[in-house]
Amino acid sequence: MKPVFTYSFIFLAYLLMAGCSNTKSPEHSVPKVIVGAERSEIYLPMLAGKKVGLVVNQSSMVDSVHLINFLVSNGVDVKGIYAPEHGYKGNVERGKDVDGTTDPETGIPVYSLYGKNRKPTPEILEGIDVMIFDMQDVGVRFFTYINTMTRVMEASAENGIKVMVLDRPNPIGYYVDGPMLKPGFESGVGLYPIPVVHGLTVGEYAMMVNGERWLKDSIQCDLEVIKVENYTHETKYQLPVFPSPNLAEMKSIYLYPSICLFEGADVNEGRGTYKPFQQFGAPYYTPQDFSYVPKSIPVLALHPKFEGETCYGYDLSGMSLKELQDIKQLEIKYVIDFYNKCDDKENFFTPFFDKLAGSDQLRKQIMEGLSEEQIRASWQEELEEFKLMRKNYLLYDETSMVRQTQ
């Protein structure tokens, strides 16, 4: 249900009465964002008598209760927990398998969707009527949770299982930018032709994948999206629970789309520090105004790039949230800067860079010496086409609540 704002005159009267006071009346504050998982009055009746599978992690909360416990306490027959990267509690080192375990509180079996079977097999889906996806995403193509979701959609469609997405806000859903993923560059960090920053919630993205028939053999799943209430794409949503160990601050999330590109280059992206994606550097970088030494940190980073070496580069952790929110584009200036400073340019990029970028175009443009403006201009036509398609699947307004109340 879309929020309705009918109190324009009341709001103006409130401003007049408030005068110089800084005290805000709760009845005129911005309505609380209510995520899909908290709208149980809608989805619990749909789950009555159903055998349910859950694709969840530590962000899958219903107020202060995890979705697993919430559903079990409400009599839902949960048959399996399907864990993404970092596990269903978010405490697993990147790439580690959690298959074959059980949830200690409920005894429900846990199946890994980040090990050898990234797509659920018919065997681990046997007997399931509804697969629920409820995880906080960050709105970036190479953040792997949306790939987990679409593989679940595909497997569910093939096995006659309904998919229910309990939607959550996109913390950077207020802009769309970056190069598109091109055919032939599909990978574990990008499956479908979308830009790096796609501007969709997981529910909207699921609808796009289904509607555009991107699943294998153009199959479509039986999809239900439980919408977020009181959210628009300009809402600056602050995550109550962070989605992964290295994205444990809003500052890291805002910088993640741009700085994560260094995972495919000869630059440390802040892994091995307590400010991942907020600081980044390499031993060869000049000037040497800022430095740090990456080290192994359990769960966060084991044996990070340039472990034990002094790295020089940037520290963006001092930027305010407002400053970071005002950055509404993929910043490629940092990659260009480090490439220009690197002596061993032939080995600066790794094959993983093309997977993150979605094609080999960005790498080649940087190597050819194109300017940031020239590179950004090369994205625009395809971006505009994507934005037109994106409008077909939007569940939430793109105008801000502030403007709606005026």
| Count: domains in the chain | 2
Say if residue 195 is in the same domain as residue 287: no
Q: Which domain holds residue 225?
A: 36-239
Look at residue 403 in the predicted model and tell me its pLDDT: 34
What does DSSP say about strands 130-134 and 162-166: parallel, antiparallel, or unpaired? parallel
**CA-CA distance, 180 to 382, in Å (whole number)?**
7
Look at residue 16 in the predicted model and tell me its pLDDT: 35
Report which of 364, 392, 399 is spatially closest to residue 378, judged by C-alpha positions. Answer: 364
Look at residue 135 in the predicted model and tell me its pLDDT: 97
Q: Select from 239, 266, 299 the last residue of a domain.
A: 239
Say if residue 215 is in the same domain as residue 268: no
Distance of CA 38 to the CA centre of its chain: 20
- Residue 16 resides in a domain: no
Say if residue 353 is in the same domain as residue 258: yes
Say if residue 257 is in the same domain as residue 365: yes
How does pLDDT run along the chain (406 residues), one tens digit per residue?
333 333 333 333 333 333 333 334 444 577 999 999 999 999 999 999 999 999 999 999 999 999 999 999 999 999 999 998 778 887 655 555 556 689 999 999 999 998 778 999 999 999 999 999 999 999 999 999 999 999 999 999 999 999 999 999 999 999 999 999 999 999 999 999 999 999 999 999 999 999 999 999 999 999 999 999 999 999 999 999 999 889 999 999 999 999 999 999 999 999 999 999 999 999 999 999 999 999 999 988 999 999 999 999 999 999 999 999 999 999 999 999 999 999 999 999 999 999 999 999 999 999 999 999 999 999 999 999 999 999 999 999 986 433 332 2
Say if residue 110 is in the same domain as residue 64: yes
Say if residue 42 is in the same domain as residue 176: yes
- Residue 170 resides in a domain: yes
- Residue 391 resides in a domain: no
Q: Tell me, yes or no, if the pTM score tops 0.95.
A: no
Look at residue 91 in the predicted model and tell me its pLDDT: 61
Question: Which CATH number covers residue 101?
Answer: 3.40.50.12170
Look at residue 24 in the predicted model and tell me its pLDDT: 41
- Residue 15 resides in a domain: no
Say if residue 108 is in the same domain as residue 230: yes
Quote the tokens at residue 104: 């200690």
Quote the tokens at residue 282: 């390499």
Question: Which CATH number covers residue 286?
Answer: 3.90.1150
Look at residue 93 in the predicted model and tell me its pLDDT: 53
